[in-house]
Amino acid sequence: MKASDFVTQIRNGDIDVVEHTKKILEEVKKINKEYHYLTVISEKEAIEQAKSIAKNPAGKLAGLPVTLKDAICLKGIETTAGSRILQGYKPTFDATVAARIKKEGGIIIGKTSQDEFGFGAFSVNVGIGFEKPLNPFDKHRSTGGSSGGSGGISQKVHFPHISLGESTGGSIVNPASFCGVFGLCPTYGRVSRYGLLDYSNSLDKIGPMGKYAEDIALMMEVISGFDENESTCSDKPVDEYTKHVGADVSGMKVGIIKEGFAASNEEVTRHCRNAITALEGLGVECKEISVPTAIKYGIPTYYLLSTSEASTNLAKYCGMRYGKHEKLEGGFNDYFTKVRSKNLGQEAKRRIMLGTFARMAGYRDAYYMKAAAVRAKIIQEYKKAFKEFDALVCPTVSVLPPRFDEIDKFKVVDHYNMDNLTVGPNLAGIPHLNVPVGFEKELPVGLMIIGDHFDEKTLIGLGSALEGK
């Protein structure tokens, strides 16, 4: 059942929202015990929300179960961004997206597992003491990252549900692809970041994940729009995204990114090519295009910029004002080192060191400033493409979900290169949507549709056209 149909039944009294909420919480507990998709199940708060909605079933999301990535603040509920250094932190406020979901009657049932602070492409870099989420189609494989819990639970549950993930370099569409669901990373500034625990301020975006294109569109209508609490949030009017579900796509022009297909394996390529053929059958004009800068230089550009910002953002978790703390003794450096060494995982430490090096005096011009210049070139490359095309397409991830024993053998650079197709749109701040386009060896394959700034409606139209094809 789609979210809108479920909400209609709640409003009509066909479903008892309190009993339904209790029932789905039991299902979530069983799934979580086996698959580790949630860091927290907010049972008490969810039931209280359900009781309130039972009295007044208003709002676009009335009674709909929703989950949030653990980096998104939820008032009174432990929010850690998947890191031990923040265990025990309970925000005194809701993130803007959480507040808007509650206002529209959505019931937030828990926080989803992730790579620590978003540092990863497989959700294996979870913080110390956390369990990595398991792929819903094969428990020996990755959910993708870093919003792996959101992708996994979106696929696994049997009830209408939408999850909010967060993307810095691909962390919405990547797990959406690995878990076989829709995942939309919106334009930078389309959705408020207020209440999001930062990874990289100039790159972070919050977006929805779910089984249906219409569910994605519905949630985008709820969470998008200006927020006076967030300085990078756009005041551009919000489209009625649900009206573009099932829209006529004939006459649209779509660019096929040749470098994206060249970098992908044969199995993934075949399913994505079949999806393009399906679009052509609907009257879409598809033509090959090259975006060499984004593919060739995206990875080094992204990791220099994102880690530089991350090293700054994570500096506050030092045990003085924020994060775990120890007995105050020794000098500042000794104390900070003790707290951070004990409570941050290996990948978090690696990215802090890389980012700190890149922005040090003597290295800033050689690394950070050059990366910023290349980012500008990547944006120009995409903007030029959108003068000719309505959207661009390529595989979301170049491989099928790998097994954990395979990931264990990967080098650090192999982890980083997994983002090779997704970092470009993230650096440019343009919206991109994962669309499930088939299965290979019982594992899902995703096609990524990329749009111009604030053109999420075109992605929703094209994505919904491929739904079920």
**pLDDT by residue for the chain (469 residues), tens digit each?**
999 999 999 999 999 999 999 999 999 999 999 999 999 999 999 999 999 999 999 999 999 999 999 999 999 999 999 999 999 999 999 999 999 999 999 999 999 999 999 999 999 999 999 999 999 999 999 999 999 999 999 999 999 999 999 999 999 999 999 999 999 999 999 999 999 999 999 999 999 999 999 999 999 999 999 999 999 999 999 999 999 999 999 999 999 999 999 999 999 999 999 999 999 999 999 999 999 999 999 999 999 999 999 999 999 999 988 899 888 888 988 999 999 999 999 999 999 999 999 999 888 999 999 999 999 999 999 999 999 999 999 999 999 999 999 999 999 999 999 999 999 999 999 999 999 999 999 999 999 999 999 999 999 999 999 998 7
pLDDT of residue 469: 76
Per-residue pLDDT at 402: 98
Answer yes or no: are the C-beta atoms of 283 and 254 closer than 8 Å.
Answer: no
Residue 332 CB partners (closer than 8 Å, separation 6+): none
- Domain 3-244 belongs to what topology? Amidase signature (AS) enzymes (3.90.1300)
Contact assessment for residue 210 and residue 152, using Cβ atoms and an 8 Å cutoff: no
Which residue is associated with the tokens 């290295």? 363
Rg of the Cα trace of the chain? Answer: 21
Cα 415 to Cα 403: distance, rounded to the nearest angstrom: 13
Q: Tell me how far apart the alpha carbons of residues 345 and 118 are, in angstroms, rounded to a whole number.
A: 12
Tracing tokens 């953002």 back to the chain, one arrives at: 313
pLDDT digits (tens, 9 = 90+) for 420-430: 999 999 999 99
User: Partners of 196 in the beta sheet?
Assistant: 72
On the question of a cis peptide bond just before residue 146, with omega within 30 degrees of 0, the verdict is: yes
Tell me the pTM.
0.97
Q: Are 157 and 41 spatial neighbours (Cβ–Cβ below 8 Å)?
A: no
Q: Which residue has the tokens 């009335």?
A: 62
- Strand 443-450 relative to strand 391-395: parallel, antiparallel, unpaired? antiparallel
Task: Tell me which residues are annotated as active site.
Answer: 69, 146, 171
| H helix count then E strand count, the chain | 17, 11
Decide: 185 and 63 in contact? Cβ < 8 Å: no
Identify the H or E element spanning 391.
Answer: strand 391-395
